[in-house]
Amino acid sequence: MSAIIQCRGVEKIYHQGSVDVPALRGIDLDIEHGDFATLSGPSGSGKTTLLSLIGGLDRPTAGEIKVDGESVVKMDKNRLADLRLHKIGFVFQTYSLIPVLSAVENVEFILRLLSVPQRERDMRAKEVLREVGLEGLEKRRPSRLSGGQQQRVAVARALGPKPAIVLADEPTANLDSKNAEELIALMAHLNATSGITFLIATHDSRVIAHSRRRIEMIDGRITADERQGAVIAA
Protein backbone atom coordinates (compact mmCIF):
# COMPACT_ATOMS: atom_id res chain seq x y z
CA MET A 1 0.00 0.00 0.00
CA SER A 2 1.08 3.58 -0.62
CA ALA A 3 0.98 6.42 1.88
CA ILE A 4 -1.96 8.80 1.66
CA ILE A 5 -0.50 10.96 4.47
CA GLN A 6 3.23 11.66 4.77
CA CYS A 7 4.88 13.68 7.53
CA ARG A 8 8.60 14.42 7.50
CA GLY A 9 10.41 16.31 10.24
CA VAL A 10 7.20 18.05 11.33
CA GLU A 11 7.63 20.53 14.16
CA LYS A 12 5.17 22.91 15.75
CA ILE A 13 6.14 25.59 18.26
CA TYR A 14 3.59 27.83 19.98
CA HIS A 15 4.73 31.21 21.23
CA GLN A 16 3.35 32.18 24.63
CA GLY A 17 4.73 35.59 25.40
CA SER A 18 8.50 35.23 25.53
CA VAL A 19 8.29 31.45 25.95
CA ASP A 20 8.41 28.94 23.09
CA VAL A 21 6.34 25.81 23.73
CA PRO A 22 7.15 22.89 21.40
CA ALA A 23 4.04 20.82 20.60
CA LEU A 24 5.59 18.55 17.95
CA ARG A 25 9.27 17.61 17.78
CA GLY A 26 10.29 16.15 14.41
CA ILE A 27 7.39 13.87 13.48
CA ASP A 28 8.05 11.31 10.73
CA LEU A 29 4.91 9.33 9.87
CA ASP A 30 3.29 7.56 6.91
CA ILE A 31 -0.41 6.68 7.00
CA GLU A 32 -1.33 4.24 4.26
CA HIS A 33 -4.48 4.08 2.15
CA GLY A 34 -7.15 2.21 4.10
CA ASP A 35 -5.45 2.46 7.50
CA PHE A 36 -7.63 2.45 10.63
CA ALA A 37 -5.12 4.08 12.96
CA THR A 38 -5.21 5.69 16.38
CA LEU A 39 -3.02 8.40 17.90
CA SER A 40 -2.89 7.91 21.64
CA GLY A 41 -1.01 9.52 24.50
CA PRO A 42 -1.52 11.83 27.48
CA SER A 43 -2.97 15.32 27.18
CA GLY A 44 -0.38 17.64 25.67
CA SER A 45 1.35 14.88 23.72
CA GLY A 46 0.57 16.54 20.38
CA LYS A 47 -2.24 14.35 19.02
CA THR A 48 -4.71 17.14 18.23
CA THR A 49 -1.95 19.40 16.93
CA LEU A 50 -0.84 16.73 14.47
CA LEU A 51 -4.40 16.20 13.22
CA SER A 52 -4.83 19.95 12.76
CA LEU A 53 -1.65 20.20 10.70
CA ILE A 54 -2.56 17.21 8.52
CA GLY A 55 -5.99 18.71 7.91
CA GLY A 56 -4.55 22.09 7.01
CA LEU A 57 -6.25 23.83 9.92
CA ASP A 58 -2.85 25.10 11.10
CA ARG A 59 0.67 25.38 9.68
CA PRO A 60 3.77 23.57 10.94
CA THR A 61 6.76 25.56 12.16
CA ALA A 62 9.02 23.24 10.16
CA GLY A 63 8.80 20.07 8.11
CA GLU A 64 6.71 18.70 5.25
CA ILE A 65 3.19 17.25 5.18
CA LYS A 66 1.70 15.66 2.08
CA VAL A 67 -1.86 14.47 1.62
CA ASP A 68 -2.44 12.23 -1.38
CA GLY A 69 0.88 13.35 -2.80
CA GLU A 70 0.26 17.10 -2.46
CA SER A 71 2.17 19.36 -0.09
CA VAL A 72 -0.25 20.82 2.47
CA VAL A 73 2.47 23.21 3.66
CA LYS A 74 2.74 24.87 0.25
CA MET A 75 -1.00 25.30 -0.34
CA ASP A 76 -2.66 28.71 -0.14
CA LYS A 77 -5.91 29.19 1.80
CA ASN A 78 -8.13 28.51 -1.20
CA ARG A 79 -6.35 25.28 -2.10
CA LEU A 80 -6.46 24.15 1.54
CA ALA A 81 -10.20 24.79 1.66
CA ASP A 82 -10.58 22.76 -1.53
CA LEU A 83 -8.55 19.90 -0.05
CA ARG A 84 -10.71 19.83 3.08
CA LEU A 85 -13.91 19.89 1.07
CA HIS A 86 -12.96 17.11 -1.34
CA LYS A 87 -10.55 14.77 0.42
CA ILE A 88 -10.78 15.15 4.22
CA GLY A 89 -13.73 14.66 6.57
CA PHE A 90 -13.52 15.90 10.15
CA VAL A 91 -15.21 14.48 13.26
CA PHE A 92 -14.81 16.42 16.52
CA GLN A 93 -15.72 15.50 20.08
CA THR A 94 -18.09 18.49 20.29
CA TYR A 95 -20.14 17.32 17.26
CA SER A 96 -20.10 20.90 15.81
CA LEU A 97 -23.56 20.53 14.27
CA ILE A 98 -25.56 23.56 13.15
CA PRO A 99 -28.41 23.70 15.71
CA VAL A 100 -31.03 25.30 13.41
CA LEU A 101 -30.57 22.62 10.72
CA SER A 102 -32.05 19.13 10.73
CA ALA A 103 -29.87 16.01 10.59
CA VAL A 104 -30.22 15.74 6.82
CA GLU A 105 -29.59 19.47 6.36
CA ASN A 106 -26.41 19.24 8.47
CA VAL A 107 -25.15 16.44 6.24
CA GLU A 108 -26.15 18.37 3.11
CA PHE A 109 -24.30 21.49 4.26
CA ILE A 110 -20.87 20.38 3.01
CA LEU A 111 -22.42 19.02 -0.19
CA ARG A 112 -24.01 22.40 -0.77
CA LEU A 113 -20.58 24.02 -0.50
CA LEU A 114 -19.42 21.60 -3.16
CA SER A 115 -22.27 22.74 -5.44
CA VAL A 116 -23.76 19.25 -5.58
CA PRO A 117 -27.22 19.47 -7.25
CA GLN A 118 -30.13 19.42 -4.81
CA ARG A 119 -31.56 16.05 -5.81
CA GLU A 120 -28.17 14.33 -5.62
CA ARG A 121 -27.43 16.17 -2.36
CA ASP A 122 -30.64 14.92 -0.77
CA MET A 123 -30.11 11.34 -1.95
CA ARG A 124 -26.51 11.25 -0.72
CA ALA A 125 -27.38 12.76 2.68
CA LYS A 126 -30.16 10.25 3.28
CA GLU A 127 -27.89 7.42 2.13
CA VAL A 128 -25.13 8.20 4.63
CA LEU A 129 -27.64 8.77 7.45
CA ARG A 130 -28.97 5.30 6.71
CA GLU A 131 -25.41 3.94 6.75
CA VAL A 132 -24.85 5.34 10.25
CA GLY A 133 -28.17 3.98 11.55
CA LEU A 134 -30.26 7.16 11.58
CA GLU A 135 -32.89 6.32 9.00
CA GLY A 136 -36.19 7.87 10.09
CA LEU A 137 -34.50 10.66 12.07
CA GLU A 138 -33.51 12.80 9.08
CA LYS A 139 -35.79 15.72 9.99
CA ARG A 140 -34.78 16.00 13.64
CA ARG A 141 -32.66 18.92 14.77
CA PRO A 142 -29.65 18.27 17.05
CA SER A 143 -31.61 19.27 20.18
CA ARG A 144 -33.97 16.35 19.56
CA LEU A 145 -31.18 13.81 19.16
CA SER A 146 -29.17 12.01 21.84
CA GLY A 147 -25.42 12.57 22.15
CA GLY A 148 -24.73 9.32 20.34
CA GLN A 149 -27.12 10.23 17.54
CA GLN A 150 -25.57 13.69 17.17
CA GLN A 151 -22.11 12.14 16.82
CA ARG A 152 -23.50 9.79 14.16
CA VAL A 153 -24.78 12.83 12.26
CA ALA A 154 -21.28 14.32 12.54
CA VAL A 155 -19.83 11.12 11.08
CA ALA A 156 -22.43 11.17 8.30
CA ARG A 157 -21.58 14.79 7.51
CA ALA A 158 -17.89 13.86 7.26
CA LEU A 159 -18.74 10.98 4.92
CA GLY A 160 -21.13 12.96 2.69
CA PRO A 161 -18.51 14.14 0.17
CA LYS A 162 -16.98 10.63 0.03
CA PRO A 163 -13.60 11.73 1.43
CA ALA A 164 -10.42 9.69 1.15
CA ILE A 165 -9.54 10.45 4.79
CA VAL A 166 -11.48 10.98 8.01
CA LEU A 167 -9.65 12.75 10.84
CA ALA A 168 -11.39 12.27 14.20
CA ASP A 169 -10.42 14.07 17.43
CA GLU A 170 -11.63 12.25 20.57
CA PRO A 171 -14.91 11.20 18.87
CA THR A 172 -16.11 9.13 21.86
CA ALA A 173 -15.17 11.63 24.58
CA ASN A 174 -18.75 12.79 25.24
CA LEU A 175 -20.48 9.43 24.79
CA ASP A 176 -21.56 6.79 27.28
CA SER A 177 -20.14 3.28 26.98
CA LYS A 178 -22.94 1.88 24.79
CA ASN A 179 -22.87 4.75 22.32
CA ALA A 180 -19.07 4.77 22.29
CA GLU A 181 -18.95 1.07 21.43
CA GLU A 182 -21.54 1.53 18.68
CA LEU A 183 -19.62 4.47 17.19
CA ILE A 184 -16.34 2.53 17.21
CA ALA A 185 -18.00 -0.42 15.48
CA LEU A 186 -19.57 1.93 12.94
CA MET A 187 -16.28 3.61 12.03
CA ALA A 188 -14.51 0.23 11.77
CA HIS A 189 -17.29 -1.05 9.51
CA LEU A 190 -17.12 2.02 7.27
CA ASN A 191 -13.36 1.64 7.02
CA ALA A 192 -13.65 -2.03 6.09
CA THR A 193 -16.43 -1.60 3.54
CA SER A 194 -15.51 1.74 1.94
CA GLY A 195 -11.73 1.82 2.25
CA ILE A 196 -11.79 5.28 3.83
CA THR A 197 -8.62 5.99 5.81
CA PHE A 198 -9.33 6.79 9.48
CA LEU A 199 -6.83 8.57 11.75
CA ILE A 200 -8.27 8.98 15.25
CA ALA A 201 -6.78 10.90 18.18
CA THR A 202 -8.10 9.30 21.36
CA HIS A 203 -7.62 8.50 25.03
CA ASP A 204 -10.29 5.77 24.79
CA SER A 205 -8.84 2.29 25.25
CA ARG A 206 -11.87 0.81 23.43
CA VAL A 207 -11.08 2.78 20.28
CA ILE A 208 -7.41 1.83 20.51
CA ALA A 209 -8.33 -1.85 20.93
CA HIS A 210 -10.34 -1.77 17.68
CA SER A 211 -7.63 -0.07 15.64
CA ARG A 212 -5.37 -2.03 13.32
CA ARG A 213 -2.54 0.43 13.87
CA ARG A 214 -1.65 2.03 17.20
CA ILE A 215 0.58 5.08 17.27
CA GLU A 216 1.61 6.41 20.68
CA MET A 217 2.82 9.96 21.32
CA ILE A 218 4.54 11.56 24.32
CA ASP A 219 5.82 15.14 24.51
CA GLY A 220 5.40 15.79 20.80
CA ARG A 221 7.20 12.65 19.67
CA ILE A 222 6.06 9.26 18.35
CA THR A 223 7.22 6.69 20.86
CA ALA A 224 5.61 3.54 19.41
CA ASP A 225 3.92 2.46 16.19
CA GLU A 226 2.42 -1.01 15.98
CA ARG A 227 0.31 -2.81 13.39
CA GLN A 228 -1.40 -6.13 14.17
CA GLY A 229 1.09 -6.82 16.93
CA ALA A 230 4.21 -6.14 14.84
CA VAL A 231 6.28 -3.16 15.88
CA ILE A 232 6.78 -0.70 12.99
CA ALA A 233 8.90 1.85 14.83
CA ALA A 234 9.71 3.02 18.31
Mean pLDDT for 117-129 is 93
Q: Are strands 36-40 and 19-32 parallel, antiparallel or unpaired?
A: unpaired
183 conformational bin, left if phi > 0, alpha if psi -120 to 50, beta if neither: alpha
Residue type at position 147: G
Mean pLDDT for 195-210 is 92
Q: What pLDDT is stored for residue 104 in this prediction?
A: 96
Q: What pLDDT is stored for residue 169 in this prediction?
A: 94
Going from the N-terminus, what domains does the chain have, and what CATH number goes with each? 34-52+76-233 (3.40.50.300)
- Residue 144 DSSP label: G
pTM: 0.91
pLDDT in tens, 40-75: 999 999 999 999 999 999 999 999 999 999 999 999
Collect contacts of 213-217 with beta carbons under 8 A, ≥24 apart.
213/35, 213/36, 213/37, 213/38, 214/37, 214/38, 214/40, 215/29, 215/37, 215/38, 215/39, 215/40, 216/40, 216/41, 217/39, 217/40, 217/41, 217/45, 217/46, 217/47, 217/50
